[in-house]
A and B are shown apart, each in its own frame.
Chain A
């Protein structure tokens, strides 16, 4: 286990990675963290400062200078101001005399040389010589290398008395099976569930649990990055984020703030940050390089059969859409920093364009094989709607309807309700009886009808009416709405929840149809009561829907439509 953690530490980058876990670790060790890493202001060589007692001794001030991976000659001493020796000099020359808080000046100071790997042997004499020359009565030096950090993490985050051996073995298995992402994710999700089982636990235990989730996700991500396969980390980050939300949501209320609850919140936001980093990595490294090339993503996704391409590409489009939606959400939460706003704006455009290119260059995206792929389609449509790109939306949906008509007419690969891959391999089979059996319900077609109605595209709307009449008269067109139990189950998928508006009246004129489905939103106010919505973390609802394969609530469409209508007005 220690080797696993060492490996993970050695792979971390300095900025936002290694320096992000040190404060948590110090807190777990019982120290009080005085300052955390920041990018802007001058730090005078100190990445993290903490005060307190380790191993029952006297209180000391611990000043950390953090470097990634192994300490080499160039990272120890070079012309760069980022080298460790320069940082140590700054600590001695500037931080200790000028910036050490007055109340801690009488305490002994330990300067910690912290790095994820080891000191390379050729550098060791230089480091030892430096320490000998600079240590004084009240100033000492300590080496916090990967080995020491791993031991501390193991004993403080993953100690055996708190985590059952089963959970520890799940982490090992999830790392060992990174090349089989589904299996890896399966083991990791067991681990996260074990951490999240917090009934009758106090705040400190909850803080520890959420920190454990964070550190394990970090370990998984670091390993996945090394293995160049982010799939398990992607799925696990969604799962961890949703479970972390379940832990943090009682502490989101301003009235319940205390130090522990603040730390729980901080850890949640660090998991959110990690989730976004993983999804950004996935999108930027694995998807975007291929979106502008004809068939490239289809070829990348080429499995044994076109079915694999269909399943994977709708999944990818859904992930792109979610990534763009988070950027959109960030933009809506930033009021002050114009630079950040511009960066996010350009990110939204980049993702929206990537979605459009992906659809244009991978025609398999013109018809899903499963009705449940409406989840990815809806997420994508929401993003494009937010981008006000009606032309591309209509074009995509028109193509989809055309292909669906053709598929129904020719017994081609029409969207069905089958879930099992084995059954999908045999789909479609001839005969009306089979068709009726595998198309018992649909959210996809009413969803297309709704978008057509919202965009006032009567022709498209009528084509859905015709599909219903000619091929799917037996099919229950439906929409899903959250209910009272959704808040309890949505984030952990702990039970069936929500209610379905059955047999939606597609035969109605467009305005009446909108009234019907959005009217039901009024009847289902539970959406607004969802903690993720209340605390303005609404993209979590999309993450939950994508991850647990639930239709995206129409309330999001309604509010988007209302905001667009009011803008138009």
Chain B
């Protein structure tokens, strides 16, 4: 509910209100063009000492009512704060109180404007902070930024001095301030600041301070690109000593500015970011954005190595699916990157990378991605490599059988060795065709006509023939009632499946944004729903909604019923086996 009062009525109410009531009135200031008038009235009354708005916001537990109303009050304060005549000490207390209560730091920018509006405020603020750093150091950066707008030299020097302050919070905030103040053009003050910070960096071991140094180095480098050699050295030093916080700060640079960074800067970032802690989702997200941007550039190789190294170093704790932007970029297969990754990672045989291939290929809904090998990544003269790659593809892409089959077909197309063609044909039949007669069978039918090589056609045909032989053997198999499980077992199995399906349905509903918010009605009979929709004037309109059948079909591997243990064993062996480099050809 917003205010439906005139300015005069508002003034009267404000003046008559208790502090609690005043806060409520502030919350009702409309979000519209009229707001300025109400806010001006509040400033006027405050500055005339008729009311004390800062005191009102200092009251504890204002956020208990929660929600939009609270943030509406804060918004009003943010708008009027720079114009309020209040003691800086009181304002600092109020700002810190609000940050603590709401964990919302948007009030800091108006605070800077408040400080810079009257020169003495920054000076007094700096004195207060230096005097009681444990309470107020957190606002040092804002006070220094505000002060630098009024008297750059004084506050720049103050910042340089405080970089080496004994109190770590003072030091950390002074470091941040040096990255954020507006340096005058055509001065070498950025270099001066950089050098001072570099010296601090040499001494520093605290991760949070190093993170601030990384942040400020980045900002200074952004402002002054000629600092690059110093920047590379400094950041290397900081990240070498730093931990999660420093790496996170570096990841922000990598994630959001990677397209502006030079080769050497990217290299140094990659060198350190590959040791990212798997639990830091934010850092990983930043890396995701950075890699995604770089994949489309000429730095593809370097980025792929980075990606590989992250996954290998994490020993399975970082899955490629964490990098969702990267996965989607890879799936676009720009410049054949998908095929390159599939070939390289499967052939490498490293579990984390092969798993990554599987995760990427399992990502899209709908039909299986069609893959091909990148012949620059494999020695086609080495039949061991061909055989190994085919089995790895089956092992890791068994749930995407058409993708696995497409790799084998691409291997068949480039192979001439009769032994390997036979082996590929055998693998196409068992396990792919044998398990997925529908999906893989249809895919092979489509492919066989488009393949030019006669030997490749023969190999595929042989696989199809093997399937036909297998199926024709089974044609004579009829139902043998003696082999049917007893009715009680069939009932028990049905109950189990019904329960599992119902639990899965409930879980899916919980996870679904749509289904979790819309109400549900169950129709016990019929195939249409009849509803009456009432208009504003009370007229009822009859609406019939026919129900539609929604279905989804999946093809389960044949052996998952006929020999689940054997299937699981085969997939595990295919996944686990490694290429023996000394082996003779297959």
Contact = CB atoms under 8 A, between A and B. Distances in A.
Contacts of A413: 564-565
Contacts of B482: 181, 229-231, 234, 282, 286
Interface string B541-568: 0000000000000000000111111101
Contacts of A173: none
B279 interface: no
Among A229, A298, A311, A413, the one with the most B-chain Cβ atoms within 10 Å of its Cβ is: A298
A221 to B, nearest CB: 13
B481 A228 contact: yes
15 contacts: A180-B486, A181-B482, A230-B482, A286-B482, A295-B474, A296-B474, A298-B563, A303-B484, A304-B490, A304-B494, A306-B561, A312-B483, A312-B485, A406-B565, A421-B489
Interface stretch (A6-14, A152-160, A341-349, A359-367): A359-367
Given A303-B485, A425-B492, A295 B568 contact: no
| A-B CB proximity, top 3 nearest | A303-B485, A304-B493, A231-B482
A290 interface: yes
A366 B474 CA distance: 21
Interface of B: 470, 473-474, 476-490, 492-494, 496-497, 560-566, 568-569, 572
B493 to A, nearest CB: 4
Interface in A240-294: 282, 286, 289-290, 293-294
Contacts of A406: 565, 568-569, 572
Contact of B477 (A180, A181, A296, A312): A296
A450 to B, nearest CB: 24
B477 A300 contact: yes
A308 B564 CA distance: 12
Interface in A372-423: 402-403, 406-407, 410, 412-413, 421-422
A124 to B, nearest CB: 38
B473 A293 contact: yes
Contacts of B485: 303-304, 308, 311-312
A103 interface: no
A237 to B, nearest CB: 13
A181 B486 contact: yes
Given A286-B483, A296-B474, A304-B485, A410 B562 contact: no
Nearest to A316: B483
A182 interface: yes
B563 A364 contact: yes
B53 to A, nearest CB: 60
A366 B477 contact: no
Interface string A210-235: 00000000000000000011110010
Interface in A160-176: none
A302 interface: yes
B572 A410 contact: yes
Given A228-B481, A362-B563, 7 more contacts: A299-B474, A300-B479, A304-B490, A305-B493, A306-B561, A364-B562, A406-B565
B459 to A, nearest CB: 21
Given A295-B474, A296-B477, A425-B496, A403 B490 contact: no
Contacts of A303: 484-485, 489-490, 493
Interface in A184-232: 228-231
A561 to B, nearest CB: 31
B572 A182 contact: no
A179 interface: yes
Contacts of A183: 487
Nearest to B482: A231
A182 B490 CA distance: 13
Contact of B481 (A229, A304, A421): A229
A317 interface: no
A554 interface: no
Nearest to A298: B562
A91 B483 CA distance: 47
A309 interface: yes
A301 interface: yes
A180 B490 CA distance: 12
Among A180, A282, A312, A421, the one with the most B-chain Cβ atoms within 10 Å of its Cβ is: A421
A316 B484 CA distance: 12
A289 to B, nearest CB: 8
Nearest to A403: B565
A291 to B, nearest CB: 12
B477 A290 contact: yes
Contacts of B480: 286, 300-301
A407 B569 CA distance: 9
Contacts of A290: 477
A407 B492 CA distance: 24
Contacts of A308: 485, 489, 493
B561 A294 contact: no
Contacts of B481: 179, 228-229, 231
Nearest to A233: B482
A364 B565 contact: yes
Nearest to A227: B481
B494 A407 contact: no
A364 B558 CA distance: 13
A394 to B, nearest CB: 19
A179 B482 CA distance: 9
A176 to B, nearest CB: 14
Contacts of A403: 565-566, 569
A302 B474 contact: no
A19 B572 CA distance: 60
Contact of A300 (B483, B496, B561): B483
A407 B565 contact: yes
Nearest to B477: A296
B562 A309 contact: yes
A289 B560 CA distance: 24
A556 B496 CA distance: 41
Contact of A367 (B470, B478, B496, B565): B565
A309 B560 CA distance: 11
B279 to A, nearest CB: 24
Nearest to A421: B489
Nearest to A182: B486
A418 B488 CA distance: 17
A299 B473 CA distance: 12
Contacts of A181: 482, 486
A108 to B, nearest CB: 49
Given A230-B482, A364-B562, A293 B474 contact: yes
B473 A296 contact: yes
Given A295-B474, A296-B474, A421-B489, A305 B572 contact: no
Contact of B473 (A294, A412, A426): A294
Contacts of B488: 182, 421
A299 B562 contact: yes
Contacts of B487: 180, 182-183
B568 A410 contact: yes
A412 B565 contact: yes
Contacts of A412: 565, 568
Contacts of B489: 303-304, 308, 421
Contacts of B493: 303-305, 308, 425
B43 to A, nearest CB: 66
Among A179, A230, A293, the one with the most B-chain Cβ atoms within 10 Å of its Cβ is: A293
Contact of B561 (A180, A302, A421): A302
Contacts of B479: 300
B568 to A, nearest CB: 6
Contacts of B568: 406, 410, 412
